[in-house]
A = this chain, B = another copy of it.
C-alpha cells in the first residue's frame, strides 16, 4: 500500500489519507481483509504525526471501511459491513455529486463531456462500468 500525499496541498492531510484509501478500496487494490500499516508506521513513512494518521483511520472506521483492533491492526472492511452506509448517505452523496458536476458545467464543460469524465473515472474501479454502449463485461 503506497500512499501519496501532498503536504503543500490545501486539503488536510488526514483527508488526503482517507481519500486515497477510499479510492484504493473502490479500485479493488484494497480487498476485504487487506491490512493497512499501523498508525505509527504510516506516520513514520509519510513523515507526519501519528495522531494525523489516527484521525484518518478513525474517519474510515466511522464510514465502515476499516476495522481497528489491537489484535489484527487495521484491516479493510469492504464487504459484509457491520452496518449499511450511515443513514442519509445516498442523499448527502448525491447532493455533493450535483455540486461537483455543476462546477464543471458552470466552467464550460457540457453534459456529455461531464458524463464521459464520470464514465472514465468509474472504469478505473473494480467492476468498471457496464454501459449500454459496451455490453461486454470488462471486469
Contacts and interface: CB of A to CB of B under 8 A. Distances in A.
A111 B93 contact: no
A16 to B, nearest CB: 10
A121 B93 CA distance: 11
User: Majority SS of interface residues in chain A?
Assistant: helix
Range for the number of chain A residues in contact with chain B: 35 or more
A125 B102 contact: yes
A5 to B, nearest CB: 13
A84 B68 CA distance: 46
A105 interface: yes
Interface of A: 19, 22-23, 25-27, 63-65, 78, 84-85, 89, 93-94, 96-108, 110-112, 114-115, 117-119, 121-133
Pick the 7 closest A-B CB pairs, nearest first. A26-B102, A26-B105, A111-B129, A118-B118, A23-B102, A25-B106, A98-B121
